[in-house]
Amino acid sequence: MKAVQVAAATLGLATVSAAGQPLTYPPARKTQQVDIYHGVRVADPYRWLEDDRSTETGRWVKAENQLTAAYLAKIPNRHQVRARLELLYNYAKYSPPFRRAGLLFYRKNSGLQNQSVLYVQKGLSGVPRVLLDPNTLSRDGTSQLATYSVSKDGKYLGYTVSTGGSDWQEAHVIEIATGKVLADHLKWLKFTDLSWAGDGFFYARFPTPQPGRELLSKNESQAIYFHRVGTPQSQDELVYQDKQHPARLFYIATTEDERFAVLTVEDPNEGKTGNALFYRDLTKNNKKFRPIVASVTDDQYAVVDNLGDKFLVLTNWKAPNKRLLLCDPAVAAAKWKVVIPEKMNSIDSMAQAGGKLFANYLEDVATHVYVYSLDGKLENEITLPGPGSATGFVGERGDTSVFYSFSSPNIPPTIYRYEIATRRSGTFRAPAIPGFDPDRFETKQVFYKSKDGTRIPMFLTYRKGLALDGSNPTLLYAYGGFDLITAPVFSALRLALLEQGFVYASANIRGGGEYGEKWHQAGTKLRKQSVFDDFIAAAEWLIAQKYTSCEKLAIQGASNGGLLMGAVINQRPDLFRAAIVQAGVLDMLRFQKFTIGAGWISDYGSSDNAEQFKALYAYSPLHNIRRGVKYPAVLITTADHDDRVVPGHSFKYAAAMQAQVSRANPVLIRIDTNSGHGPSSTTKVLEQTEDIYSFLFCNLGITPHFAASRR
């Protein structure tokens, strides 16, 4: 029987390689696995590929990687692509600095270092000193500095390290004055900050997973602990857990004065998009967390800081675009004071520094930053260089200035220093990208209508002098989920496409947070199809306006955006020439069974619910592949340490695509090693981008040529 199955799996699997030669896909065994969901029988013949550590899966992965590597190696001028990417990326990159106890901390990558290095200096004029160089933590440069936090007195640095791209982290402590790494070593941390309080910090961890299942098993029973510097993890104090709700997620932070520990509780497994909020007064012996918001609902609450015994809370409760409240836990919510009311535009983020509030608003996706007094009086808007995205504004109450980074599709990330008293910004650090001339390119925002008439924004970037004749290669990108914003930002690597005449289009479709919670909710659960409709409408608009044509249009998306890619090429395979499906959520019936997947039920719903199953089954990329239909050329990417969207999604999807769709165009999968949900090092970034761009050039009929003066 197995021999018959293998033989059948290899029949008719030939397609054309980059050199015009037939491709033969590796065989993938099909089983008789069938599941029943609410009376509906659903086949899952490649279930065995979910076990990414099995010998059989390993053989399949090796064969697929060999096929993909051979295909890519034959693409003309491929060596020029990598050379150009390295040159474009080889410039100094900085993070906005922040202050603690008179010290300034920031990260810097000199250009092609695998990991950015953490520096410290005394004040603005001090001599920079390397505090932590992650490049020394592994031979291949894939150990990453995941998160870090400085104690209030500036004595200690707490930091976590991710190995090989996994979401799992291990925490350590450095004595800042000497640079000495102390003996502290904490394991099995995930989705956590290190929040200092006196001589230690709060953190979140999960129970030790079963050996061999670390990157696959469900993440449940998270708990909050407190670690004191100089003690073993076994002595850490259990601060909070909820045995009745093992799927709940917890985040803990301390206020700047370290008086309060603030606990955020989420329950996405129950389909809730909001959170509960609790606090503990660390100056008192009572260790019980008291409620600010007692129950998890669809409303979101985040503490910006405390004012005495009250809390400044940013929330979308009764305000989809968010507002700032002064919350007194001792009185009913109806009596809380509105500090900054809801406005027409949504608040993306808010920070406190120097006795001011910095509110980051989104106006048609572009950042606008307004400065308020602590009692909510508008003082001024910070003038930004133009439409784009600004981040930062982090500081302490006594600071006289803050730093922020601004970027747009045509402006590289530039760091500014904002003087609070004078209300003026000045350039602090500006990047110098070899051969980049912003005057050669143009960015503009357009609006188009989706299937139901909804107005959708989209940013276009291209070389000046573009002819609207339908012949331009175009890459359309979107995400559309989890309240996340697809911001208009710069990418040095993207220049390699723009230089070859590409139009880069970034669509701000529903499901994201571009227009507040209503925009987010409009693309969730039973309304998820609107996300796909928005993306398809973007492609149709680009073609109708003669920016491109079906034969010159490629699409790209990652994670939830990978789901988007899988869904739209099922629904409109005729509309696109090539698709890049990166780390996609592709099996919508089983995503909740692995690692943190249950946390996505708040956006997707669950196959355990009959009504939601019907919607999920209708668009699930894995379950809606159309046999024999001509699909675009597809490149699927994943990695062996992706424990957020486990590789099984991509493995099963690739096997099913290769077995079912027309052989007119290639369907290839690229499985990276020692990498995770995203590339784990600069080397990995360059390798993956080289492969993706080469695949696009090949399948859009472009032979790249980079002028000698820009190589």
Work out the mean pLDDT of the chain and round it to a whole number. 95
Neighbours of 426 (CB within 10 A): 10
Residue 522: closest CA among 273, 344, 295: 273
Q: Check residue 371 and give its pLDDT.
A: 98
d(CA 258, CA 411): 38
Task: Find all residues with CB under 8 Å of 145, minimum gap 6, and list them.
Answer: 107, 115, 116, 118, 132, 134, 159, 160, 161
Ramachandran angles phi, psi of 162, nearest 5° = -100, 135
Residue 367: closest CA among 357, 352, 382: 382
Residue 515 C-alpha from the chain's centroid: 19
- Could you report how far apart the first and last alpha carbons of the chain are, in Å? 56
Name the least confident of 284-288, 514-518, 586-590: 284-288
Q: Find tokens 């990047």 and name the residue.
A: 431
Q: How far is CA 300 from CA 86, 266, 294, 323, 357, in A?
A: 42, 9, 12, 11, 19
Q: What pLDDT band is residue 15 in, cutting at 50, 70 and 90?
A: low
Chain segment 217-255, per-residue pLDDT in tens: 999 999 999 999 999 999 999 999 999 999 999 999 999
Residue 279, burial from CB neighbour count under 10 angstroms (0-12, 13-18, 19+): buried
Q: Check residue 687 and give its pLDDT.
A: 98
What is the rounded average pLDDT of the residues 178-205? 98
Catalytic residue among 559, 607, 680, 694: 559
Residue 13 scores a pLDDT above 50: no
Ramachandran angles phi, psi of 26, nearest 5° = -60, 140
Residue 709 scores a pLDDT above 60: no
- Torsion angle of C-alpha atoms 136, 139, 145, 151, degrees rounded to 10: -30
For 125, the token pair is: 């004029």
CA dihedral sign, ordered 594, 598, 600, 606: positive
d(CA 277, CA 253): 11
Q: Find tokens 């331009």 and name the residue.
A: 472
CA dihedral sign, ordered 214, 218, 221, 227: positive
Cβ(333)–Cβ(291) below 8 Å:
no
Residue 387 scores a pLDDT above 80: yes
Neighbours of 3 (CB within 10 A): 7
Q: What pLDDT band is residue 434 in, cutting at 50, 70 and 90?
A: confident
Q: What pLDDT band is residue 708 in, cutting at 50, 70 and 90?
A: low
Q: Check residue 706 and give its pLDDT.
A: 86
Per-residue DSSP letter, 525: G
Question: Tell me, what amino acid is at 533?
Answer: D
Question: Tell me, what amino acid is at 418?
Answer: Y
d(CA 443, CA 411): 10
What is the rounded average pLDDT of the residues 8-19? 48
Q: Check residue 288 and give its pLDDT.
A: 95
Residue 279: closest CA among 249, 312, 248, 319: 312
d(CA 363, CA 386): 12
d(CA 520, CA 592): 20
For 478, the token pair is: 């979107």
Active site residue 677: yes
Does 451 or 435 have the greater pLDDT score?
451
Catalytic residue among 227, 641, 649, 677: 677
Residue 373 scores a pLDDT above 60: yes
Q: What pLDDT band is residue 304 in, cutting at 50, 70 and 90?
A: very high
Cβ(350)–Cβ(360) below 8 Å:
yes
What is the rounded average pLDDT of the residues 10-27? 66
Q: Check residue 435 and give its pLDDT.
A: 84
For 7, the token pair is: 């033989």
- Kind of pairing, strands 337-340 and 323-327? antiparallel
Chain segment 639-667, per-residue pLDDT in tens: 999 999 999 999 999 999 999 999 999 99
What's the 3-state SS for 329-391? CCCCHHHCEEEECCCCCEEEEEEEECCEEEEEEEECCEEEEEEEECCCCEEEEECCCCCCEEE
d(CA 610, CA 606): 8
- Kind of pairing, strands 129-132 and 441-449? unpaired
Residue 173 scores a pLDDT above 80: yes
What is the rounded average pLDDT of the residues 305-323? 98
Chain segment 23-75, per-residue pLDDT in tens: 999 999 999 999 999 999 999 999 999 999 999 999 999 999 999 999 999 99
Chain segment 90-111, per-residue pLDDT in tens: 999 999 999 999 999 999 999 9
d(CA 42, CA 706): 49
The maximal CA–CA distance of the chain, rounded, in angstroms, is: 79
d(CA 107, CA 225): 28
Cβ(585)–Cβ(557) below 8 Å:
no
For 281-329, the DSSP string reads ETTSS----EEEE-S--S--EEEEEEETTEEEEEE-TT-TT-EEEEE-T
Q: What percent of the chain has pLDDT over 90?
A: 95
221-251 burial: b if 16+ Cβ within 10 Å, else e:
ebbbbbbebeeebeebeebbeeeeeebbbbb
d(CA 65, CA 78): 18
What is the rounded average pLDDT of the residues 554-581? 98
For 255, the token pair is: 């206020």
What's the 3-state SS for 111-143? CCCCCCEEEEEECCCCCCEEEECHHHCCCCCCE
Residue 20 scores a pLDDT above 90: no
Residue 218: closest CA among 180, 269, 262: 269
What is the rounded average pLDDT of the residues 134-151? 98
Q: Check residue 16 and give its pLDDT.
A: 65
Residue 148 C-alpha from the chain's centroid: 18
Residue 195 scores a pLDDT above 70: yes
